[in-house]
Structure 1
Amino acid sequence: MKRLVALLLSSALLLLACSTTFALFSNEQTSSKAKLLILDGSVNPGTAHFLVTNIQSAETEGYHLIILQMNTPGGLDLAMRDIIREILSSKVPVATYVYPPGSRAASAGTYILYASHISSMAPATNLGAATPVSIGGMPNPSEPDSSPKKDEQEEKPQQEEKPKSPNSNQNAMHKKIINDAEAYLRGLAAYHGRNIDWVKNAVREGESLTSKEALDIGVIDLIAESPEQLLSKIHQRQVRLPTGLKILNTNGMTIVQVEPSWHMDLLSIISDPNIAYILLLFGIYGLIFEGYNPGTFVPGVIGAICLLLAFYALQILPINYVAAGLLVLGIALLVVEAFAPSFGILGIGGIIAFLFGSFLLFNEPETGIAIAMPILLSVTIISVILLSFVLSLALRARQRPVVSGREELLNEVGIVQYDFVDEGWVHICGERWKCRSDVPLKSGQTVKVIAIDDLELTVVPTNENST
């Protein structure tokens, strides 16, 4: 009997242990989840802040994988490096996925793709064009090298070396930037064991690849039709983390998309060069309208808020300072034209300076940092209309008769208060004025002002007095 009881207890304990283990295993499988972050647009401080904060919090939030769904034309170097540093230091694997079909990972996107623990793309996508571009303008890398060759130097050893020109200094700086970018991308490729040879073509030649070409030469790890297929393909893959090698377990993993918060959305919106440009214009025009109508406060308050937001956006966006100077000059000329009309000379010059400054302010479409041409044309047309309206008002004002001051009395008609010869007093515009006349005047007679000398008027009888 005792043996039977002991056998039953042992069986019960064994069943309890098995059920507990199965429950724990099932709970682990069901709780496994991937954090989906979407990068759709340029790489800017707003998107960098969103990605960095979510990568940092992924481990504490219980995520086992981060999927970075990407479609970007590129962006700012500093923002890109912030994202890459966080990816490399993350304890949660990051799988970057160029998706949906038709998307691209150009310029900065290529660097992020190389830095990720899993590099994947959807069909009909592309990557590459990783040549760094300076926002302020970059010397032409295709300029021929004018330095003497080694053989020529041996033939002319006595020839003095000419001082370097500014162009040579610019070319040297360009080479430094290119070499730094190539070394950075080569280091990322070596870290994750991807194709290093193609890095030179991407950085120096701006070469691009389709997803199939990238897979064939080992630039990416795999091609997936959807995020769910991506999870199935990376199951049991080994990745390199700061803590060491790790084998991914994505079986039964659920995908949770994380939406950016409102302040991240706001930061991303004002980081857009088109929005920053519009805010700048609203701020300037708001202050101008407040100057025209002091005390209204509404345009002044709105203009001040827009101007401060624009200054913040311009602080985090790289701008061409020559273009910014042209922009400020153009606005200043328009303001001067409004307050002191020059019949279009200052206004036309202001519009030309304003247009060129606007066009060159973020003139780098390769990085996604550029102002849309329709916005530029619309703003220019609106400025021309406003200038034309101000000029028409100025011309009409000059053609109107004077209605204030001493000049208002010219040609006005008054009544003689009493008889006088040479000098006397007349009643004009509700006031009593001293006047002079070459003919004798009688009380009640109507006269017209023909001249003003200080506070004395010169008058003549009107035709109404003739008999």
Structure 2
Amino acid sequence: MARLTRIFFVIPLLIVAAFMGPAVCADRLDGNIIQLTIEDAIGPATDDYIERELESANEQKAELVVIRIDTPGGLDTAMRGIVKNITNSSVPVVSYVAPTGARAASAGTFILYASHIAAMAPGTNLGAATPVQIGGFPQPTAPDKKGVKNRENNRDKEKDRNDKPETIASDDAMKNKAINDAVAYIRGLAELHGRNQDWAEKAVREAASLPASDALKLNVIDIIATSMADLLKQVEGREVKVQGEKRTLHTTGRVVQKIEPDWRSRLLSVITNPNIAYILMLIGIYGLIFELSNPGAIVPGTIGAISLLLALYSFQMLPINYAGMALILLGVALMVGEAFEPSFGVLGIGGVISFVFGSIILLDTGIPGFGIDISVIITFAATSAMIFIFIIGMAIKARRRPVVSGLEELTGGTAIVVTDFEHKGTVSIHSENWNAISNVPLHEGQWAKVIGVKGLTLEVEPLDKTTEESEP
């Protein structure tokens, strides 16, 4: 009886534990520390990765997000997307430049300034945040103490400016517009977290850089940490302002959950690589051209359409130069024209030149990791020239040659009438007798021209000569 009582007592406890177990586990998941990673150049894939993981951290109510940074910079659009996600996050974000030897250059500096806590490992650096546009423009001359350019060192430039005032003024206006916009942006981020605004402006205007120790002294960063454990120890109890509200961080005993880019981010990183996007575009163009020149092949058209769509998606996310795209398409068109209408190489050479120049300026951003490698351009230019000028040209010439085998070869040939007939009869061609039909009467020994083939019957019409006339 006592044993039965114990069983009835234990069963309700097990049921309660079964229902409470998931809730306990869920509570344990909340409050974790999420660690993300930014490596290499910052692009659309990086923006997508940070955005999705910050949203997940907000849903999980994580205690803190730590972004380890080691980047030479990246695209302005991607950087601004990451900054926007950090500033709008309800979870505090720590940007940590690590390991030793890492850097947060250009776009990385903006991300560091946008974070609630900025940290660096010893032996790291940040800065060089001057914006670069498509096509690039010269780095601004460092101002003197009054913020005015040293005119004595720029007399030659002033002379050139006088020679071409409209062009130089336009270039200077675009350059100043981009720099002033970046200065206002980074000063706003510095003000948001009480960091050094003057040095932030200097990093943009003069491309200034700082090592970790100097950055801490100048109030550019908040912490120098030798490791992740050291960072979390220093962050413990620190007060930060998140979306206008003060929050005290508690990192002791928290689980650090390291999240690397998933397959989606890696795939996006691959197809938004300028070299890959460029190759996909050319495969798409070649595939469609081959499909149009050989209707029904299916495979070239399918591969070409898929590749072209992927390339267009990639270019939509990359800062492409549409003049470069137009030159590439013009180059392909000229090389195809050379294949169809031989012009002693004029169209072909012009097409190759247009193709190469278009490829060079297609993604001339001046940003590391976001340009097309010159070896890829040369390889595809040579391959394109060979394909369009030689291979397709030879195929078209072969198609224009008369058929020398099969029933089609009979069309246009000359036959001899074997016996007289008015509508149906027999003719001899290539030492073979064939049934023939004609709309006019034909006589034995008369020459006839084959104008068509219907099954095993030839359609013929008379020629104005006889076998006797054809003999020497």
TM range (shorter): 0.7 to 0.9
Q: For the Cα contact (< 8 Å) 2:140–2:206, is it kept in 1?
A: no
Cα distance in structure 1, aligned partners of 2:172 and 2:267: 39
1:234 Cα deviation from its structure 2 partner = 2.0
Cα distance in structure 2, aligned partners of 1:143 and 1:339: 56
Report what 1:449 is aligned to.
none
Report what 2:357 is aligned to.
356
Q: For the Cα contact (< 8 Å) 1:29–1:252, is it kept in 2?
A: no
Matches for 1:37-52 after TM superposition, within 5 Å: 37-52=36-51
Report what 1:66 is aligned to.
65
1:55 Cα deviation from its structure 2 partner = 1.6
Q: For the Cα contact (< 8 Å) 1:98–1:121, is it kept in 2?
A: yes
Letter in structure 2 aligned against 1:68: I
1:462 Cα deviation from its structure 2 partner = 12
Structure 1's 433 and 241: CA in aligned 2 closer, same or farther, altered over 3 A?
closer
Report what 1:114 is aligned to.
113
Structure 1's 30 and 46: CA in aligned 2 closer, same or farther, altered over 3 A?
closer
Aligned partner of residue 60 in structure 1, secondary structure: helix
Cα distance in structure 2, aligned partners of 1:247 and 1:224: 19
Report what 2:290 is aligned to.
289
Report what 1:450 is aligned to.
none
Q: For the Cα contact (< 8 Å) 2:125–2:210, is it kept in 1?
A: yes
**In the TM superposition, what whole-angstrom CA distance separates every residue of 1:405-433 from its partner, at most 9, and x where no partner exists?**
xxx89xx8976869xxxxxx994446989
Cα distance in structure 1, aligned partners of 2:415 and 2:27: 104
Letter in structure 1 aligned against 2:351: G
Cα distance in structure 1, aligned partners of 2:110 and 2:329: 36
Aligned residue pairs: how many?
407
1:218 Cα deviation from its structure 2 partner = 2.9
1:95 Cα deviation from its structure 2 partner = 0.7
Report what 1:9 is aligned to.
none
Deviates more, 1:162-171 or 1:280-289: 162-171
Query: TM-score, normalized by length of structure 1?
Result: 0.73
Letter in structure 2 aligned against 1:201: K
Deviates more, 1:81-90 or 1:41-50: 41-50
Letter in structure 2 aligned against 1:116: S
Q: For the Cα contact (< 8 Å) 1:32–1:252, is it kept in 2?
A: no
Aligned partner of residue 59 in structure 2, secondary structure: coil
Letter in structure 1 aligned against 2:258: Q
Structure 1's 371 and 101: CA in aligned 2 closer, same or farther, altered over 3 A?
farther
1:458 Cα deviation from its structure 2 partner = 6.7
Deviates more, 1:122-131 or 1:248-257: 122-131
Aligned partner of residue 337 in structure 2, secondary structure: helix
Cα distance in structure 1, aligned partners of 2:36 and 2:367: 23
Among all aligned residue pairs of Structure 1 and Structure 2, give the percentage whose two residues are the same amino acid: 46
Q: For the Cα contact (< 8 Å) 2:291–2:300, is it kept in 1?
A: yes
RMSD between superposed Cα atoms in Å = 4.2
Segments of 5+ residues of structure 1 without an aligned counterpart are 1-26, 150-161, 419-424, 435-442, 447-453
Report what 2:211 is aligned to.
210
**In the TM superposition, what whole-angstrom CA distance separates every residue of 1:90-119 from its partner, at most 9, and x where no partner exists?**
221101112333432221111001111121
Q: For the Cα contact (< 8 Å) 2:320–2:363, is it kept in 1?
A: yes
1:275 Cα deviation from its structure 2 partner = 2.2
1:185 Cα deviation from its structure 2 partner = 1.1
Report what 1:96 is aligned to.
95
Aligned partner of residue 365 in structure 1, secondary structure: coil
Structure 1's 254 and 143: CA in aligned 2 closer, same or farther, altered over 3 A?
closer
Q: For the Cα contact (< 8 Å) 1:72–1:104, is it kept in 2?
A: yes
Cα distance in structure 1, aligned partners of 2:121 and 2:255: 20
Cα distance in structure 1, aligned partners of 2:340 and 2:292: 10
1:317 Cα deviation from its structure 2 partner = 1.6
Q: For the Cα contact (< 8 Å) 2:446–2:467, is it kept in 1?
A: no
Structure 1's 396 and 345: CA in aligned 2 closer, same or farther, altered over 3 A?
farther
Q: For the Cα contact (< 8 Å) 1:35–1:63, is it kept in 2?
A: yes
Cα distance in structure 1, aligned partners of 2:169 and 2:114: 33
Segments of 5+ residues of structure 2 without an aligned counterpart are 1-25, 144-148, 152-162, 420-425, 439-443, 448-460
Letter in structure 1 aligned against 2:64: L
Report what 1:369 is aligned to.
370
**In the TM superposition, what whole-angstrom CA distance separates every residue of 1:255-312 from its partner, at most 9, and x where no partner exists?**
1122444444433332222222122111111111112221121111121121112112
Aligned partner of residue 99 in structure 2, secondary structure: coil
